[in-house]
Structure 1
């Protein structure tokens, strides 16, 4: 018997969310298996068909898909407050850890420990991205149109590494998918009763943060605007946001080196919880140089900025989902958007391989990582630990 909202014990539900966060490795697809096991099979908070519907809803929305899915379950069980607490329990532990890891390079320097011990983390991270590109590409390429969209987005974003190009190619992917679908009655009108305050807050924060960057030249404001923008422009899991982050934070603004970026992305693979928590590391690294407090603020700007849009969108969309899911055009556009996202991830793997260098040891670490991940015989945390030991031992 599925729990009703009125009978939910919040403490018990949040404890189950925490259990999910401890076992959630490897991105959205792996996270869903944890949700099914803990929330559907063991605790019966909802049916599997309901979970699949929520996954479909969150796949349509920009932002961290698995995070929005579990937040939606919290909303279903106990409304906005429980949804917010679900977000905290799910994301906060790993956000704190990634904030601490943003001080890793300073710690090594202060203790005269060479950072060369981290040298294999970058090539390992490239292996993770290659596998993500392969798995997502295999999933999203279903016909000639999706193949062309994947190749188109990879080609364009390889040569144009500006932040504005990513939302444009994603929008083009959705439009092409709709135009070529030959489906009829795509936009059947439905009667909605939305809670506009959440959408208004979403838009005001987006526009207001952009305006503030022109008025106030403050690193924390700029970081919040960047990460908030990532949160509402990127569809899918943490792998999808990597090329966008890398272009802006490393190539354009030079907030950190390629090696430092890949170190954080590699380390987050060994931690449970949402991969978007990488934003806390990236935000902290980008705010270095002005003291510990400012660096922590940078990490908070990254973590809050990237998760906030998805939370507001869930608050706005979830109550009207039962009606929105009947709009065929929304589902069809996702086919093209996902194909474009596959292209973004594929080209990011190529670019990051180039940046890491093609030394024999780097290539071997990347190939070994990809091979072990594809066999699924070595858990990600053990792989990260082994690469750290390897780096500091030789």
Structure 2
């Protein structure tokens, strides 16, 4: 039996790729609510409707995204693109997936500065700020339910909370995560033993990730250029965050509000609330921070700040998913790798809890803010009200009253 000729196969593949990218765009415009909701929608479209991959393949890729630092849902959908069409399709998938959310959050950052320049009140966002704290509390609670399984993980989470609350420096974040991972790695003997094969590692993407990391840090120190330093700041955070956008929040707050004062607390909370109402990855929050960090450089400077911040936050996870994807089947069989994830996740939960406490503390004297936080928590836990509906309602109430 003769095989179809290559010229016939190529157009079929291209058509399949175009359909896949159209599905990615639909997801980018309609997915709200973070990695858990994103995974459900990816399953519905990629597995049930299109059958690009199987359910087990999707869950494997999602697990890989959870193992690596970076945005979990972004890494998952990028890995699906890699599996279907290789690295070129994966990069296009990444761009289409992040573009709507990044564009909206860039516009939000520029709009926030415009209102401030025109001396226009941004008081209509006053309910969004306590809502953002409510979202963070619920996120930490839900993450904790999944990852705190024993006394060790509970102790790690509490210790991480205390350390992050007392030492509010971006330097402490990677230390807390590293200590958490090393602590549970020592308990690897409790993990199920699996047959192992020698690792065959292709190092190109790892060296690319490391080279950019070192070059950005060196250039930032030498030039003191704000765009370069922004890229380095976000690249470093994107290389160290495990657990998605909720865990990224305390890292960004410590770096850009508490430590460097690029944003005010109110600006940060307003953006954190708004990103809940935006489709796509929560990491698009970086675009908002980047635009406001370069607010004094004019419109072009704000666009540039958003661009370098967006590139910085998304590139590490992309380089690392490309690197690890090729030998993931062998790597996950090592007990020490699986064991270390328990400590990383527990420490990340503690970081989220500390961020919620730090952001809530100044609101305590203002009872309306406390009420909004509690109502938001209640609605998120006991109803199916989507976050974007709460945010839009909060903006409406703020405008009316």
Q: Which range, TM-score by smaller chain?
A: over 0.9
Aligned with 1:346 (options 343, 348, 353): 353
The alpha-carbon distance between structure 1 residues 191 and 269, as it changes in their structure 2 partners (threshold 3 A), is same
Write the distance in 1 (CA, Å) between the matches of 2:191 and 2:141.
33
Write the distance in 1 (CA, Å) between the matches of 2:343 and 2:168.
21
Counterparts of 1:139-154 in structure 2, within 5 Å, are 139-154=146-161
Alignment pair present for 1:104 and 2:105: no
Q: RMSD of the alignment, in Å?
A: 1.9
Counterparts of 1:261-280 in structure 2, within 5 Å, are 261-280=268-287
State the TM-score, normalized to the length of structure 2: 0.93
Cα offset for 1:186?
7.5
Q: Is the 8 A contact 1:259 1:356 kept in 2?
A: no
Alignment pair present for 1:358 and 2:358: no
Which residue is equivalent to 2:246? 239
Q: Is the 8 A contact 2:284 2:310 kept in 1?
A: yes
Gaps of 5+ in 1: none
Misfit runs of 4+, over 6 Å: 184-189
Aligned with 1:221 (options 228, 246, 249): 228
Q: Is the 8 A contact 1:187 1:329 kept in 2?
A: no
Which residue is equivalent to 1:130? 137
Write the distance in 1 (CA, Å) between the matches of 2:206 and 2:107.
33
Cα offset for 1:357?
4.9
Aligned with 2:198 (options 179, 191, 195): 191
Aligned with 1:336 (options 317, 338, 343): 343
CA displacement 1:209-260 (0-9 Å, x = unmatched): 1111210111111110000001100012111000010001001110010000
Q: Is the 8 A contact 2:165 2:354 kept in 1?
A: yes
Cα offset for 1:377?
2.5
State the TM-score, normalized to the length of structure 1: 0.95
Aligned with 1:24 (options 28, 31, 36): 31
Write the distance in 2 (CA, Å) between the matches of 1:225 and 1:218.
11
Cα offset for 1:187?
10
CA displacement 1:260-302 (0-9 Å, x = unmatched): 0010010010011000000000111111112111111111111
Write the distance in 2 (CA, Å) between the matches of 1:107 and 1:184.
54
Write the distance in 2 (CA, Å) between the matches of 1:335 and 1:37.
29
Write the distance in 1 (CA, Å) between the matches of 2:209 and 2:39.
27
Write the distance in 1 (CA, Å) between the matches of 2:191 and 2:78.
33
Which residue is equivalent to 1:254? 261
The alpha-carbon distance between structure 1 residues 184 and 386, as it changes in their structure 2 partners (threshold 3 A), is closer
Cα offset for 1:193?
3.4
Aligned with 2:125 (options 101, 118, 122): 118
The alpha-carbon distance between structure 1 residues 326 and 182, as it changes in their structure 2 partners (threshold 3 A), is closer
Once structures 1 and 2 are overlaid, which stretch shifts more, 322-331 or 168-177? 322-331
Which residue is equivalent to 2:324? 317
Write the distance in 2 (CA, Å) between the matches of 1:390 and 1:289.
31
Q: Is the 8 A contact 1:24 1:272 kept in 2?
A: yes
Aligned with 1:62 (options 58, 61, 69): 69
State the number of aligned residues.
391
Alignment pair present for 1:15 and 2:22: yes
Cα offset for 1:188?
7.8
Write the distance in 2 (CA, Å) between the matches of 1:341 and 1:186.
26
Which residue is equivalent to 1:168? 175
Which residue is equivalent to 2:386? 379
Cα offset for 1:109?
3.6
Once structures 1 and 2 are overlaid, which stretch shifts more, 377-386 or 352-361? 352-361
Gaps of 5+ in 2: 1-8
Cα offset for 1:111?
5.0
Once structures 1 and 2 are overlaid, which stretch shifts more, 296-305 or 109-118? 109-118
Which residue is equivalent to 1:179? 186
Write the distance in 2 (CA, Å) between the matches of 1:185 and 1:373.
36
Aligned with 1:327 (options 334, 355, 364): 334
Cα offset for 1:106?
2.7
